[in-house]
Amino acid sequence: MATRIGFIGLGTMGTPMVRNLLKRDYPVTVWGRRPEAIAPLAAVGAAVGASPGDVAAQSEIVMTMVTDTKAVEEVVLGEHGIASGARPGSLVVDHSTIAPDGARRIASALQTRRVEMVDAPVSGGSIAAAAGTLAIMVGGSKPAVDTLRPVLSSYAAHVVHVGASGAGQVAKACNQICTIVNQLGAAEAMLLAERAGVDPRAVKDALMGGFAASRMLDLQAPKMIARDFDGKIESRLHHKDIHIVLDLARAFGIELPASAAAAEVLDRLQQRGGARFDSAAVYEVLDRR
């Protein structure tokens, strides 16, 4: 029989991940805060749990994909949380992007109940989640990761076991440095091209043929040029992530000036009411005409 999966958090990322699990014929039980997110998955075969704890009681592996550390703590350790229903020997897989010390703290609390947790943040966005080509960086024990690989392959093309508990979240913080700082660089380049009277579309095409080529330039520059900031990668998430990076930098006594600059621009975007805008809206913060 296929491994019984639970999935909690049915947003932009969680929904396509569940769809891919169902396509692989895994029995999946879901829970989310919004009935409108649950209904389409129930219509294609997902069972629906009454609470995170109820999902855990029906599952051998429970996955979470929620917003931040506080949200993970709530769905795992809160009233009617995963811990209330998880059976000894089961696995919890957190795909959220949270602080490494938060991941370790939640894993330790579950360990007292003989439930193992791995932190497995993802990269690639909703397009990769739907295509089944996410990259996943995993922190946890090797036996747990080996058990999970066939399941994770339902929606990931690249799974790397980085190290012990919390290591996946450290890797995700590094990923976000490269992503968010790169995005700010793309915004600066497009703004400079425009102000210099040169077609930024042509500049973007030229840059994509050389060392400046990047996934963020390719994805975000067209949104910046068109000033189309309808939220796909909501800036509030990158804002949260870059501050996780800076918290880690302070804890280790290191200076990350490029990350600090990106955080300052994202701070200003939040202050201007842009939390739900696509992160490409950092361009609008720089463009002060």
Catalogue the active-site residues.
Answer: 172
State the Cα–Cα distance between residues 84 and 6, nearest whole angstrom: 14
CA distance 7 to 224: 34
Per the listing, tokens 């497009």 go with 190
CB–CB of 207/217 below 8 Å?
A: yes
Q: Is 147 within 8 Å of 224 (Cβ atoms)?
A: no
The DSSP-derived string for 208-270 is TTSTT--HHHHHHHHHHHHT---SSSBHHHHHHHHHHHHHHHHHHT---HHHHHHHHHHHHHH
For 27-61, b/e burial (b = at least 16 CB within 10 A) is bbbbbbeeeebbeebeeeebbebebbbbbbbbbbb
Q: Please name the residues in contact with 233: beta carbons below 8 A apart, sequence gap of 6 or more.
A: 125, 278, 279, 280
Cα–Cα distance, 6 to 26 (Å, whole number): 10
Question: What residues does 235 pair with on adjacent strands?
Answer: none
77-88 burial, b at 16+ Cβ within 10 Å, e below that, comes to bbeebbbbbbee
